[in-house]
Amino acid sequence: MNAVGDFTPSRLRERARRVAAVAARHADAVDRDGRFPREAVEAMKAERLLGAMIPEDLGGEGAGLAAVADTCTVLGQACSASAMVFAMHQIKVSSLVEHGLDSPWHRGALERIAADQLLIASATTEGGIGGNMRNSICAVERTGDRFTLEKQATVISYGDDADGIMVTARANGEAPTTDQVMAVFFKGDYTLERTSTWDTLGMRGTCSNGYVFRGAAPVAQIIPKPFAEIAAQSMLAYAHILWSALWFGIATDAVNRARAFVRAEARKTPQTTPPGALRLAEATATLNSIRSTVLAAMERFEAAKADPDALSSVSFAVDINMVKVETSERILDVIDRCLLVCGILGYKNGTPYSLGRHLRDAHSARLMVSNERILGNTANLLLVQRQDVGLFG
């Protein structure tokens, strides 16, 4: 496993590039038709990337966060919807790896995911809670060693194409809305009744429709640890870092297209600096700062993982929240500057410099788990945090 600060190419990268080549060929069609990127996901399965994070003794590769984030960046440069599907799958797998290894059933689930390259989706949002995944209305209903669960899920990304779904709910019918558990369901354990369709500005290929989820399974499929602990100690960090890595990938491809445009202009007038070169320099500087933010977040997370108290601390929560806010805001600035560089050829579809899909997909970043909600939660945390004014923390 590569260390976070190790820039040696990831052992997953060549396989990720092969998947990215497939994803890139279909990216415009996936976006235009709002369809699931099935070719890219089949390529992920063929390259056995879906089990990359699972420990080797359970049939995976034991890949660390850095390698998986690097893969998100590679895929993000080709097709952001494909990259988002990969990232969301890995975020769910990370919860099992970090919190389910003491449970025989969940160890078996990881073995199954690795062996069969199963795609896992998430149902954490619910009608009536305003997008706050740390609250649930639905509840687990236990009868003996089995339970049932019905959830009005406003969004389940790629729900129709997933091989399993991880669902949050109240621990029981009497539990408060914040006393949640997370359960794993495989196909055959649940049904989906579609209630809304995903016809959006960008990220169209994630197919994040709304459903009524109805599931029934053995109680053993509920992860033993409370969801509050799962979210605070691993899930939010994995989500914000992997999302940021794929958004960095989108912005990187935009900069590459702008650079190609400037170079083409420079060849036309060798003695003159193209007017877009200044904007390209600005975009590149911002892109590099986004990379630094993501790498620093990975280092912060890896250091905190050795100390459960650090993972649950206010300062860690603030830092991880701001990674998501910063990267989701700044990629828009990068892509907008690249659009100014490429001009009408970036604005038009079907050119080597087209940036419409990049810009539309990037706008989702501030909205998926709204930055307004994150900033509101962070503001509350800052009220009880002592400000550290030292340069090195």
pLDDT digit string (tens) for 181-219? Answer: 999 999 999 999 999 999 999 999 999 999 999 999 999
Cα distances (angstroms) measured from residue 127 to each of 131, 133, 189, 196, 367? 8, 11, 22, 12, 17
| C-alpha torsion sign, points 241, 9, 58, 41 | positive
Count CA within 13 A, CB hemisphere, residue 165: 31
Pick the CATH number of 121-221 from 2.130.10.10, 2.40.110.10, 1.20.120.1200, 3.40.640.10: 2.40.110.10
Q: In this predicted structure, what is the pLDDT of residue 326?
A: 96
- 112 pLDDT more than 50: yes
- Computed over every residue of the chain, the mean pLDDT equals 93
pLDDT, mean of residues 334-340 = 98
pLDDT bin (cut points 50, 70, 90) of residue 250 is very high
Q: How far apart are CA 385 and CA 152, in angstroms?
A: 36
pLDDT digit string (tens) for 40-49? Answer: 999 999 999 9
Q: In this predicted structure, what is the pLDDT of residue 389?
A: 61
Q: In this predicted structure, what is the pLDDT of residue 309?
A: 81
pTM of the model: 0.94
Task: Determine what percent of the chain is predicted with pLDDT higher than 70.
Answer: 95
Q: In this predicted structure, what is the pLDDT of residue 347?
A: 98
CATH 2.40.110.10 boundaries in the chain: 121-221
Strands 164-170 and 120-123: parallel
pLDDT, mean of residues 367-373 = 87
Which residue, 69, 80, 1, is CA-closest to 40?
80
Q: How far apart are CA 135 and CA 176, in angstroms?
A: 9
CATH 1.10.540.10 boundaries in the chain: 13-118
- 91 pLDDT more than 90: yes
pLDDT digit string (tens) for 286-319? Answer: 999 999 999 999 999 999 988 878 887 888 888 9
Are 65 and 234 in contact by the 8 Å Cβ rule? The answer is no
Q: How far apart are CA 162 and CA 2, in angstroms?
A: 29
Q: In this predicted structure, what is the pLDDT of residue 1?
A: 38
Are 23 and 78 in contact by the 8 Å Cβ rule? The answer is yes
pLDDT, mean of residues 72-91 = 98
Q: What CATH number was assigned to the domain covering residues 13-118?
A: 1.10.540.10
- 332 pLDDT more than 50: yes
CATH 1.20.140.10 boundaries in the chain: 227-382
Q: How far apart are CA 87 and CA 81, in angstroms?
A: 10
pLDDT bin (cut points 50, 70, 90) of residue 393 is low
Q: Which CATH superfamily is domain 227-382 in?
A: Butyryl-CoA Dehydrogenase, subunit A, domain 3 (1.20.140.10)
